[in-house]
Every structure is written in structure tokens, then in C-alpha cells.
Amino acid sequence: MEFTEVVRLRRMVRRYDPDRPVPRGVVERCLANAVRSPSAGFSQGWDFLVLTTPDERDAFWAATTEPGAESDAWLDGIRAAPVLVLCLSHKDAYLDRYAAPDKGWTDRDEARWPVPYWDVDTGMASLLILLTATDEGLGSLFFGVPPERHAAVHDAFDIPASRTVVGVVSIGYAVPGPRSPSLRRHRRTGREVAHWGRFGVAGENP
């Protein structure tokens, strides 16, 4: 599939076929592409926790939902995904890298990072997983974990405290479902979001 077509076809998929497992090779290709993402100082401060068995996925949903809470259509659709990839960032990898002799920030001061590149870079790696899943003919979704449930997720899967759950990518074979009402919103075009030379200056019409 051509790259432009992959970008055009990528969608956030919220309903999956629970009876069609994702081949392990496909998941491995998603991860192999993820690590081709750029990272500041080539710090590569990311890890990916892959959950594929029913027990593993059930443990994730148990950790991220209130006990006894009623499900809904959104959650039921996502629960059917046969693969969940927890995308974890590692801040210390960046602070350590930039304290190295070739960088020279020996104080490891976080104030030097007004934008947390460890999270940004992990987000970019997550996008490559989404795009690879699309290229493989699968559906995928990036979603977050409620802040009050992060500790439970760490405990459930022995995730070190040094790692932050930036988000989760679900992967599986999409099944038809209602379109998200958010899609009624206008998609801003490249021309609408571009500012040339100074903010608020639109490019000239060709």
C-alpha cells in the first residue's frame, strides 16, 4: 500500500472481531516500525508492553475500570480487541543521555525540557504502530488510561515506577459500527493550519 493511502485510510477503530486473532508476525512488524521513530539524542526512551492472551487483557481492563462498573458500547467494542500495546515512556533515559559527555547537561535539570520529549517521542512511535496496523489491513486505536488507574496498571503488570503509560494501542480486525459523532467536525486542511513566515499569515493561492 502506498504511504499516502495508508495515511488516508488510518482511522481510530473502536469495534473489533473477537474471533480473529492477530498474527504474532504482524504485531512484531508494528513494533519493528515503532522503533524507527525519531527520539531526542537517540535516547529511545520507550518500551511497549504487549498483551495478547485473554487473561492479560482481562487484567488490563480490571485495572483500568472501577469494580462493578457497568460497561457501555464503547468499552465493549474496545474489549474485543485481541491485542493491546501499552506505550511506555522513560524520562530518565533522556535525562541520563543529555548528561553524557557529548551533550554536557550534567545537572539533569528537567527545566531544560519545557516539552517532555520522552512522551512526545513515545507518541510518535505509537503513531507508527497505528500506521503499520493500517498497512497490514487491521484496525487500531490510541487511547489513554484514566490518571487514577495508572498505579493499578503498574501494579498489575510489574511496570517500573520510572515508566509512564503514555497511552494504549488496540489492534484487531475492524467490524462495522456507528461512525463517531466527532467525525461530523470539519477536518482542517493543510492550508488552514499552515502559517507562513509569521503566525496568522496564510500561504498565497497557487
- Residue 57 above 70 pLDDT? yes
pLDDT band for position 129 (50/70/90)? very high
Question: Does some domain include residue 200?
Answer: no
> Does residue 204 lie in a domain region?
no
Q: Report the percentage of the chain scoring pLDDT > 70.
A: 99
Residue 116, classified by CB atoms within 10 Å of its CB into exposed (0-12), middle (13-18) or buried (19+), is: middle
pLDDT of residue 81: 97
Q: What is the CATH number of the domain that holds 157?
A: 3.40.109.10
pLDDT reported for residue 51: 98
The answer to whether residue 10 is domain-embedded is yes
Within a domain: 197: no
86 exposure class (CB count in 10 Å sphere: 0-12, 13-18, 19+): buried
**What value does the mean pLDDT take over residues 4-22?**
93
**Number of domains forming the structure of the chain:** 1
Evaluate whether residue 45 is within a structural domain.
yes
| pLDDT confidence tier of residue 35, bands split at 50, 70 and 90 | very high
Q: What is the pLDDT of residue 205?
A: 60
pLDDT 10s digits, 144-153: 999 999 999 9
Share of the chain above pLDDT 90, in %: 77
Q: What is the mean pLDDT of the chain?
A: 93
What's the pLDDT score for residue 179? 72
Within-domain flag for 108: yes
pLDDT of residue 15: 94
**Quick one: average pLDDT of 11-32?**
96
Q: What is the pLDDT of residues 82-124, one digit of tens each?
A: 999 999 999 999 999 999 988 878 788 888 899 999 999 999 9
Grid cell, residue 96, equals 541520563
Residue 206 has pLDDT above 60, yes or no: no
Asked whether residue 198 is domain-assigned, the answer is no
- Per residue in 166-188, pLDDT tens? 999 999 999 987 677 777 788 88
β 163-172/46-51 pair status: unpaired
Tell whether 183 is covered by a domain. Answer: no
Domain holding 46, by residue range, is: 3-178
